[in-house]
Amino acid sequence: EVQLVESGGELVQPGGSLRLSCAASGFTFSDHYMDWVRQAPGKGLEWVGRTRNKANSYSTEYAASVKGRFTISIDDSKNSLYLQMNSLKTEDTAVYYCVRVDRSGSYSFDCWGQGTLVTVSS
Amino acid sequence: DIQMTQSPSSLSASVGDRVTITCRASQGIGKALGWYQQKPGKAPKRLIYAASSLQSGVPSRFSGSGSGTEFTLTISSLQPEDFAIYYCLQHNSYPLTFGGGTKVEIK
């Protein structure tokens, strides 16, 4: 069974840093693109960024709102995805989801974690 | 960036009703569109991929159509468990963008 389990969300002050983790199981992690998506309280979904798969050197893409502040990385020995978040702003407050990208050809999101809440507040 | 305009933002419907939700892309995206259902406190779940392909395990009352800039999600006969928020997502180009969501409520 495919599983994605996020962790690391907590209350952090503006300007602070936080690292989120996503532990993957039930599939060959290095074969898939993996994304982060966030949802501010009571709001819609926002794409945060992507890491491509091992065959594509784990190259990354980011939304403009986080580029230069957030970094996505992979430890494939641990089947884990990370989101390093620096210079956090109050508007980064959201539930952060780890998402697997379908590699069957559609390249849409076929599996989501349960999410982890990040609250940026003084 | 490609803007995804989803309509309506909310609707009220009765069990058994036919419901249609639309997403318009600001430029052509081929069939690189998915539809997702989100229930309160839960992660989204994929219903449709590649604009019209039904996700395995999703009831056949859900269907998707369209290509290019205009897409629809149709629920042929609304069931109690279908009351939720629905989102479209384009993954044709970066940044990936979601529609604003459609909240389907009980009439």
Q: Write the pLDDT tens digit of every residue in A45-55.
A: 999 999 999 99
Among residues of chain B, what percentage have pLDDT more than 90? 98
Query: Which residues of chain A make contact with B67, given a CB cutoff of 8 A?
Result: none
Examine the pLDDT at B46 and tell me if it is beyond 90: yes
pLDDT value at A105 more than 80: no
Given this model, what pLDDT does residue A37 score?
98
User: pLDDT averaged over chain A?
Assistant: 96
pLDDT tens for residues B28-37? 999 999 999 9
> Are the beta carbons of A11 and A119 closer than 8 angstroms?
yes
The answer to whether the Cα torsion of A119, A23, B94, B69 is positive or negative is: negative
Interface of B with A (CB under 8 A): 32-34, 36, 38, 43-46, 49-50, 53, 55, 87, 89, 91, 94-101
Q: How confident is the model at residue A114 (pLDDT cuts 50, 70, 90)?
A: very high
Q: Does A35 touch chain B (CB under 8 A)?
A: yes
